[in-house]
Amino acid sequence: MTPDHDDIEQAVANGDPDRMAAAFFAPAAVRPDLMALYAFNIELTRVRETVREPLAGQMRFAWWRDQINRIPSGKPLEAPVGRALADAAIRRALPLDLIHGLIDARGQELSEAPFATEAEFDAHGAATSAAIMKLAARTCGAGDRADAIADRAGLAFALVGTLRALGLEARHRRCFLPLSALAKAGIGPEDVFAGDNVRVRPVVHAMAARAMSAIRVARQDRIPVEALAAILPSVLARQYVLLLQRPDVDVFEAPPQLRRLTAVAALARAAWTRRV
């Protein structure tokens, strides 16, 4: 493995441990390409953390769009993560429209505005978490046979990720909970920014319930063998839902964490049964 690949793998280990853990269920030859995909997503998610103005972020995303557009022509990409992703995209015949959709969706996050409706949230989850699962499934050789499962499993992963990051985002006065969900509970973004756990808890429980509902739908079908590593992160999302639904949960104090043994056991059980 090259130094670039070592750095990419370390970036995923630090920035996306759930997907990293699931990647070990993929064949060794596939893992570098999975790491490239996941590291690329980390690069995109960090843009809004590293720019002072939305315009600077949009310029960065435009640069990434230009980089991805080079892939079909074989022109070299400028960043190590980009070069690794380009190699994976060519080797695994990844659909670039899903990658461009991921860039666009991450660009929308620069506004730091809540989604108006749950439908808007779901569309964002489809373009991010679900798209990453679809790309990962293709990387693993499953083609589009896991797309239906990825749609539901990806939504669950997006819901759980938003809830687990709620406290951190609130401290920066960012709220990605749908306004419609907040309105049902009779609250608004200011309650989230204030870290009012009592008032926000019904929304957390409702969104966690939505995640579990999506998981139940995904569980109706068995995961294609080749797509296991791609879909398995949603298994950890299911474990997080159980923590988020506890009556004493306070997402503003600390995001729920899984014990390592619990995570490994859940992944192994799901890999054996091939169900989320």
Residue with tokens 């980390």: 42
State whether 21 and 86 are in the same domain.
yes
| pLDDT tens digits for range 216-275 | 999 999 999 999 999 999 999 999 999 999 988 899 988 888 998 999 999 999 999 999
Nearest to 87 by CA among 27, 23, 29: 29
State whether 68 and 187 are in the same domain.
no
Q: At residue 134, does pLDDT exceed 70?
A: yes
State whether 30 and 82 are in the same domain.
yes
State whether 124 and 142 are in the same domain.
yes
Residue that finishes a domain, picked among 111, 128, 154: 111
Mean pLDDT of 112-141: 97
CA–CA gap between residue 146 and residue 226 (Å, rounded):
9
Q: Which pLDDT score, from 0 to 100, does residue 206 have?
A: 96
State whether 212 and 264 are in the same domain.
yes
State whether 84 and 145 are in the same domain.
no
Residue that finishes a domain, picked among 62, 90, 111: 111
Where does the pLDDT of residue 13 fall: very low under 50, low under 70, confident under 90, or very high at 90 and above? very high
Residue 244 near residue 256, CB atoms below 8 Å: yes
State whether 132 and 177 are in the same domain.
yes
State whether 107 and 126 are in the same domain.
no
CA–CA gap between residue 128 and residue 241 (Å, rounded):
19
Angle at 259 between CA 31 and CA 196, to 5 degrees: 110
Residue that finishes a domain, picked among 52, 81, 111: 111
State whether 14 and 91 are in the same domain.
yes
What Cα–Cα distance (Å) separates residue 142 from each residue in 80, 98, 232, 233, 258?
Answer: 26, 16, 14, 16, 29
State which residues form the domain around 178: 112-276
State whether 142 and 248 are in the same domain.
yes
8-state DSSP, 223: P
Q: Which pLDDT score, from 0 to 100, does residue 2 have?
A: 58
Instruction: Tell me how many domains the chain contains.
Output: 2
State whether 103 and 119 are in the same domain.
no
The pTM of this model reads: 0.95
Tally the C-alpha atoms within 13 A of residue 72's C-alpha that lie toward its C-beta: 6
